[in-house]
């Protein structure tokens, strides 16, 4: 899973179904969610998975109103269409994504 910076963000979310994990290195639940997302990224090739560090890219986090992390935002063709806040099981993430495929 690629870690995006502010300069890469807009082009990364521009096409298709994209899940971005807004996280921070110091966030415990973010660390727990990381392996879950890595596994999903390997299973679901019709979705692009990225991470964005909110400390390094606070401009992007602010643009999407990210107040709590982990925060998963799902984009379709550049538009935010769904959001999951906090640590959730893999099945919940899958159900959000499958509704959009």
As annotated, the active-site residues are 27, 30
Instruction: Report which secondary-structure segment, H or E, holds 59.
Output: helix 58-63
* C-alpha span between 48 and 70 (Å, rounded): 18
Q: Which CB contacts under 8 angstroms, 24+ apart, belong to 54-60?
A: 54/22, 54/23, 54/24, 55/24, 55/25, 56/5, 56/6, 57/4, 57/5, 57/6, 57/9, 59/6, 60/6, 60/9
């Amino acid at each position: 899973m690629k870690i995006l910076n502010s300069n890469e963000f807009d082009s990364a979310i521009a096409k298709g179904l994209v899940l971005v994990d807004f996280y921070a290195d110091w966030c415990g639940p973010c660390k727990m969610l990381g392996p879950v997302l890595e596994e999903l990224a390997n299973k679901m090739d019709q979705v692009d998975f990225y991470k964005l560090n909110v400390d390094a890219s606070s401009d992007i986090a602010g643009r999407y109103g990210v107040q709590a992390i982990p925060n998963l935002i799902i984009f379709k063709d550049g538009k935010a269409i769904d959001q999951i806040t906090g640590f959730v099981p893999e099945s919940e993430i899958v159900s959000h994504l499958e509704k959009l495929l």
